[in-house]
Amino acid sequence: MILPLSIEGIFRPIIKHLFKEKQFTDETNKVINTLTTATIGLWNKVKNTMLPTPQKFHYVFNMRELSRIFKGILGVKKETINSASTVGVANMKPEVFLVGLWRHECERVFADKMITSKDKDTIANYINEMTMDHFSQLESEINDKFSADKTFLFLDFLREDVKNDEGAVEQLAEKVYEVINNLEKLRAR
């Protein structure tokens, strides 16, 4: 067995296999092709700057973090990506949806591990920096959709169960990893 010479050699083929080129537009494929490089770049930056200390002994970033980010990204179905503008977020192109998903997964994996607000802000700045470095062709749309005052959460429990007339569950709702940007709707759900 020949092992890949780089981490990119592990994750790029997985993403290319599950997100096949013919299923997406050229613009979306550009984002898909950049996801691995952007994720590894962010991971390297975080692991080289957010070093463990006696108080922050758990600031150790290994391939487990990369795997968790990719697992989250790959949990989204191609139909959800391609129909992004109709799934609760009006006027969002599939490629912008994918960048938003990437940002969400990076925040979930890296920022959730941080114990101070300063460290969380540092991670948020790194994510913004990597977003602009790797997805600059979408800069205006990303700034519009993902500004600090807007909330985008990716969840898999937005869909309702099918119930009969007595209120008993006949069929459990499908777990579809999709976006919501309305906290009131989320609270109601």
Instruction: List pLDDT tens digits, range 104-124.
Output: 999 999 999 999 999 999 999
Residue 176 counted as domain residue: no
Helices and strands, counts by H and E, the chain: 8, 4
* Reported pTM: 0.86
Q: In CATH, what number is assigned to the domain containing residue 83?
A: 1.20.920.30
Residue 2 counted as domain residue: no
Average model confidence (pLDDT) for the chain? 85
What does the alpha-carbon distance between residue 120 and residue 148 come to, in Å, rounded to a whole number?
Answer: 14
Residue 157 counted as domain residue: no
Residue 107 counted as domain residue: yes
Residue 133 counted as domain residue: yes
pLDDT, position 1:
46
Residue 160 counted as domain residue: no
Instruction: Give whole-number Cα distances, 23 to 17, 27, 29, 50, 78, in Å.
Output: 11, 12, 9, 38, 7
Instruction: List, for the chain, all residue ranges whose pLDDT scores fall below the cut of 50.
Output: 1, 3
pLDDT, position 5:
61
Residue 81 counted as domain residue: yes
pLDDT, position 123:
95
If we measure between CA atoms, which residue out of 60, 157, 63, 148 comes closest to residue 103? Answer: 148
Domains: count for the chain: 1
Residue 115 counted as domain residue: yes
Q: Which residue's entry shows tokens 């609270």?
A: 187
Residue-range definition of the domain harbouring residue 49: 8-148
